[in-house]
Amino acid sequence: MVVELPPGAYIGLINDHNLPGPDGGKGGKHLILLPDYKGKVPKGYHVGKSATYKVLLAVRALPVGGDQDKALKALHAIKVYPLSTASKRKPIAIVNTTEKAMDSTSLKWEDNIQFWEVLKRIIDEEPLVEKFTPM
């Protein structure tokens, strides 16, 4: 996946449950590769190779000088798309949760078997990363 960040005051992370970011606020194209990626790595990207297939991307735009509208517009300028569509850039839909009421804790369901079933499925879908097995 490609994450295209324009220049700006962003705080963010790409977390494969085990990856940090090098553009220093200047913007750029970040390429996140899967653990078993064997293709050619194109030039012009900040490249990170994930140890897992599931990756969390979280980005906040800082309201420099208190300008919240500019910060919100900066968030909408971020593009995320598969590398395979890079020549035609087909960004994926981003879900804006700003106005949504949501409880993102797992407390409502972690006291039943569904929690353990979901956890097992996630573990089974990911490659084993030996250095993280103690966790």
Task: Decide: pTM greater than 0.85.
Answer: no
Compute the mean pLDDT over every residue in the chain, rounded to the nearest whole number: 82
> What distance, in Å, lies between the first and last C-alpha atoms of the chain?
27
**Range from 56-65, 72-81, 99-108, 111-120 carrying the lowest mean pLDDT:** 99-108
For position 33, what pLDDT does the model report?
Answer: 92
Higher pLDDT, 9 or 81: 81
For position 69, what pLDDT does the model report?
Answer: 92
For position 15, what pLDDT does the model report?
Answer: 59
